[in-house]
Chain A
Amino acid sequence: MLDKNIYINSIAVIAPGLEDIEKSEEIFKGNLEWSPVELSRMVPSALPANEARRTTTVIRLALKVVESVKKSSNTSVVFASSEGDLDITDKICKALATKEKMVSPTLFHNSVHNAPAGYLSISDNMKTPSISLSAGDNTFSAGLIESVAQVLVESNDVLLVAYDNVTPEDLDEFRHFDHPVAIALLLSKTKRVDTIGSISITVQDQLSEATPCFNHSLEVVRNGNPIGLGLPLVESLFKRKVNKILIPYLNQKRLLVKVNNV
Chain B
Amino acid sequence: MIKPIHPLKISASTLVNALGIGKKYTTNAMLGGYSGLCRSKFPDMNFDTFLGLVNEVKGVELEDELVKFTCRNNKLAKLALDTDNFREDVKDAIVKYGKNRIGVFLGTSTSGIAETESAYMNRDGESGRLPSMDMLYTDNTSSIQRYVCRSLGLSGVSMTISTACSSSAKVFASAYRSIESGFCDAAIVGGVDSLCLTTLYGFNSLQLISEDICRPWDKKRNGINIGEAAGFMLLEKSNECKGVYLTGYGESSDAYHISSPHPEGNGGRMAMESALSTAGLKASDIDYVNLHGTATPSNDHSESRGLQSVFGNKIMCSSTKGMTGHTLGAAGINEAIICMLSLENSIIPANVNLSSVDDQLPVQVTTKSIQKSLSHVMSNSFGFGGSNCSLIFSC
Contact = CB atoms under 8 A, between A and B. Distances in A.
A103 to B, nearest CB: 4
B149 A1 contact: no
Contacts of B141: 82-84, 113, 134
B155 A115 contact: no
A260 B204 CA distance: 52
B206 A108 contact: yes
A212 to B, nearest CB: 23
Given A82-B140, A136-B142, A150 B201 contact: no
B52 interface: no
A125 B255 contact: yes
A1 B180 contact: yes
A148 B181 contact: yes
A251 B158 contact: yes
Contacts of B383: 112, 114
B249 to A, nearest CB: 10
Given A112-B164, A145-B157, A136 B177 contact: no
A111 B202 contact: yes
Binding site secondary structure of chain B = mixed
Contacts of A253: 155
A102 B155 CA distance: 42
A92 interface: yes
Interface string A114-128: 110111011011111
Nearest to A94: B120
A113 B198 contact: no
B177 A129 contact: no
A135 B145 contact: yes
Interface string A135-161: 111010010011011101110000000
Q: Interface centre among A92, A94, A134, A170, by most B CB within 10 Å?
A: A134
Contact of A113 (B163, B177, B257): B163
Contacts of A93: 113, 116-117, 119-120, 198
Contact of B134 (A96, A132, A174): A174
Contacts of B109: 112-113
B252 interface: yes
Contacts of B7: none
Interface stretch (B8-16, B31-39, B315-323, B384-392): B384-392
Contact of B146 (A115, A124, A148, A250): A250
A124 B255 CA distance: 8
B46 interface: yes
Interface in B136-155: 136, 139-143, 145-146, 149, 154-155
B174 A126 contact: no
B94 to A, nearest CB: 14
Interface residues of A, number: 65
A135 B1 CA distance: 32
Could you say which interface size class chain B belongs to?
A: 35 or more
A178 interface: no
B200 to A, nearest CB: 9
A115 B385 contact: yes
Contacts of A84: 141, 162
A245 interface: no
A251 B154 CA distance: 8
A136 B140 contact: yes
Contact of B133 (A118, A124, A174, A250): A174
A109 B241 CA distance: 44
B136 A115 contact: no
Contact of B201 (A101, A114, A142): A101
B197 A117 contact: no
A103 B136 contact: no
A2 to B, nearest CB: 5
Given A96-B121, A102-B205, A114 B158 contact: no
Contacts of B155: 250-253
B180 A153 contact: yes
Nearest to A117: B385
Q: Interface centre among B135, B173, B202, B259, by most A CB within 10 Å?
A: B202
Nearest to A83: B140
Contacts of B385: 112, 114-115, 117-118, 121
Given A104-B205, A150-B177, A122 B161 contact: no
A134 B182 contact: no
A174 B205 CA distance: 28
A80 to B, nearest CB: 9
A51 B386 CA distance: 14
Contacts of B121: 96-97
A225 interface: no
A94 B160 CA distance: 26
Interface of B: 44, 46, 109, 113, 116-117, 119-121, 123, 130, 132-136, 139-143, 145-146, 149, 154-164, 170, 173-174, 176-178, 180-183, 197-198, 201-206, 251-259, 266-267, 270, 383-387
30 contacts: A82-B141, A83-B141, A101-B46, A103-B198, A103-B201, A105-B205, A108-B201, A112-B109, A112-B164, A112-B385, A113-B141, A117-B163, A118-B258, A121-B254, A124-B255, A126-B253, A129-B173, A129-B251, A129-B253, A131-B161, A131-B173, A134-B140, A142-B158, A145-B183, A146-B174, A171-B116, A171-B135, A174-B132, A250-B158, A252-B155
Q: Identify the 6 closest CB pairs spanning chains A and B, nearest first.
A: A118-B385, A108-B202, A129-B251, A113-B162, A251-B155, A134-B141
Given A96-B44, A105-B206, A134-B159, 15 more contacts: A92-B198, A96-B121, A97-B117, A101-B44, A108-B203, A118-B253, A127-B255, A131-B163, A131-B174, A133-B160, A146-B177, A148-B181, A149-B177, A149-B181, A250-B158
Interface of A: 1-2, 51, 54, 82-84, 89, 92-97, 101-105, 108-115, 117-119, 121-122, 124-137, 139, 142, 145-146, 148-150, 152-154, 170-171, 174-175, 203, 250-253
